[in-house]
Amino acid sequence: MTRTLLGGLIGGLAMYLVGFVFWGTPLSGLAFTGISDQQSAAVQAALAQNLTTSGTGTYSVPSTATGQGTVLFGKGPIATVHFNANGFPAVDTTALLGGLVLALVAGVIFAAALGIVARWVPTFTDRIRIAVLFALAVTLYLDLGQPIFNHYGPGYFIYTFLGDFLGFVAAALVIARWFLPARTADPV
């Protein structure tokens, strides 16, 4: 149990560090399509005029909850807007801390799952294969499903997929290499 917890925490830290490389460095610019400062200001003003009464949240624009919205949605342009009425610092230490806690929890859950599988899969290579395939299945569906289901360009989502997938692989490598028993007894 202690070994699983420690492995999960260190694996979660590895996942967090991979995420930091993808999202906390200038590399993150690869995920976004840019517009000029003037265009940004115009869009920001439109958001402030139209979404602040509803508040912070995620909006489908136009909304398909009405007949007119459905027609407008079919004509385009459309957007999914993640909106924060108050803004926050570009480098938010609270979000960094929350993300670290989330990565540590995910790492512990991942280590627990790998610990269960370790009984039936005694070799490091096979454990990594299982972990990589699981990470691939989850990140493919969750990250690459977004542009498929919502008809958005794939750039941001491919970048997100790569960061998430490589983070899971890093966690799996750490956990499977140093925190799972080398061999286990045959299951009963």
Whether pLDDT at 184 is above 70: no
* Domain end (from 60, 88, 116): 88
Is residue 108 located within the same domain as residue 174? yes
In a domain, 29, yes or no: no
Residue of 13 and 82 predicted with greater confidence: 13
- The model's confidence at residue 183, banded by pLDDT at 50, 70 and 90, is low
* Residue 107 host element (H or E): helix 93-117
How big is the CA angle at 104 (ends 85 and 177), to the nearest 5 degrees? Answer: 145
pLDDT for the residue numbered 138: 96
59-92 residue pLDDT tens: 999 999 999 999 999 999 999 999 888 888 888 8
Whether pLDDT at 173 is above 80: yes
Is residue 48 located within the same domain as residue 129? no
Give the rounded percent of residues in the chain with a pLDDT score beyond 70. Answer: 97
In a domain, 78, yes or no: yes
DSSP string computed for 143-178:
IIHHHHHH---SHHHHHHHHHHHHHHHHHHHHHHHH
Is residue 14 located within the same domain as residue 65? no
pLDDT for the residue numbered 188: 47
Whether pLDDT at 187 is above 60: no
Average pLDDT over residues 154-158: 93
Average pLDDT over residues 86-103: 90
Is residue 105 located within the same domain as residue 183? yes
pLDDT for the residue numbered 55: 84
In a domain, 10, yes or no: yes
Is residue 98 located within the same domain as residue 139? yes
- The model's confidence at residue 53, banded by pLDDT at 50, 70 and 90, is confident
SS3 77: coil
